[in-house]
A = this chain, B = another copy of it.
Amino acid sequence: MKFWSSINKGLTPYIPGEQPQDKKYIKLNTNENPYPPSPRVLEAIKSETSADVRLYPDPNAIQLKETLAEYYKTSADCVFVGNGSDEVLAFCFPAFFDPTDTVSFPEITYSFYPIYADLFRISYKTIPMEKDFSFKPGNFPDGMKGILLANPNAPTGIAIGLEAIEDLLQRLPDTLVIVDEAYVDFGAQSAISLVDRYDNLLVIHTFSKSRSMAGLRVGYAIGNSSLIEGLNRVMNSFYSYTLDRIAQKAAIAAIQDWEYTRRICDKVIKTRESVREELTSMGFRVLPSSTNFLFICHEDYAGRELFLELKKGGILVRHFQQPGIENWLRVSIGTDDEMGFFIEKLKTLVV
């Protein structure tokens, strides 16, 4: 640790969900899509696999931005792209917040938000959830430089309606509201429709979930051009070629095959709802989910133990040690077969 910075010594880094290499698990622990990406994505990768790999990618990713802009009926200078939505979120911190600022987010949400804040020495204030794990944006206080709001929220899976977000944007015009919509395609309303009207709104999406491209690392943000320029300035002070040639082309193909994305998301939603019913009938408390996962707990069985037993049985789910949710499990929605296997296994544990 001799050469570590003092900030580094104080960090509590994120722990990604297990990616064990020892044996084949049913992976319900990192919210990957159980279905492959669009065949057009795989074709795009193949056609980009050429000697041109020797050349830098377009640092402005202009084709990808224009494809996204066309889809969302906005202009390319209102689109930022990055190496996964995590990178886009990380860039937001130095782009918009100073160490003298305070940002706010719900008490139970994506666990990376406080880590970004710590890395960039920005204070944060967490806002408690309601008893049912829902969250009222009306509880965010005045005077924050920024708000981070995952909608639907993770790991709860609960979505907030668009009116509540619009109320927030109107009530706090000097607060930048960053809406992280990683899971939006599984049942929530996107705030992208509000971007034209609110200069304090930035919406962040990923290709990792609904578009089955977690392995390729692409995310994007939609906001007014001043916010996007702010992100570009930070990116070009960090490194300029965040998105490789293949990821750019694959992402373009994914956007162009929206119909496919819609179809696989609908399949996931259908599976989710039937698994939800089954779990409820087994005595689990299951939060209402607008995502590709379910957040569940059983009053008679400890979350940690169920997690370990499932792992022994070849099924990986996610368990968080965080106080308040230590008895809960986050279960990604797999194929019908995978979920059938999960339910069968669970039935041997929860009798």
Contact = CB atoms under 8 A, between A and B. Distances in A.
Interface of A: 1-8, 11, 13-17, 19, 21, 27, 30, 32-37, 41-42, 45-46, 49-60, 62, 83-84, 86-87, 89-90, 94-98, 101, 112, 115-116, 118-119, 146, 176, 199-200, 208, 212-217, 226-227, 230, 232-247, 250
B94 A5 contact: yes
A32 B54 contact: yes
Nearest to A231: B8
Contact of A49 (B3, B46, B90, B241): B46
9 contacts: A1-B230, A3-B96, A4-B230, A16-B56, A56-B215, A83-B83, A90-B238, A119-B238, A246-B246
Contacts of A242: 83, 87, 217
A119 B96 contact: no
A112 B235 CA distance: 12
A3 B169 CA distance: 14
B237 A14 contact: yes
Given A11-B233, A83-B83, A246-B246, A52 B215 contact: yes
Given A16-B241, A119-B238, A237-B11, A51 B37 contact: yes
Tell which of A19, A96, A199, A200 has the most Cβ of chain B within 10 Å.
Answer: A19
Contacts of A247: 244
A317 B217 CA distance: 31
A39 to B, nearest CB: 10
A239 B200 CA distance: 24
Nearest to A119: B237
Tell which of A3, A8, A35, A243 has the most Cβ of chain B within 10 Å.
Answer: A3
The 10 residue pairs across chains A and B that have the minimum distance between CB atoms: A36-B51, A13-B236, A86-B239, A54-B212, A215-B245, A16-B240, A119-B237, A53-B215, A56-B214, A217-B244
A57 B215 contact: yes
Nearest to A17: B56
Contacts of A246: 45, 215-216, 244, 246
A147 to B, nearest CB: 12
Given A19-B58, A53-B41, A234-B119, A83 B239 contact: yes
A240 B96 contact: no
A214 B58 CA distance: 11
A226 B3 contact: yes
A247 to B, nearest CB: 6
A216 B240 contact: no
A146 B5 CA distance: 11
Tell which of A19, A54, A94, A247 has the most Cβ of chain B within 10 Å.
Answer: A54
B53 A42 contact: yes
B4 A56 contact: no
Given A11-B237, A226-B2, A54 B37 contact: yes
B216 A53 contact: yes
A109 B238 CA distance: 17
Contacts of A60: 19
Given A2-B199, A21-B58, A98 B237 contact: no
A90 to B, nearest CB: 5
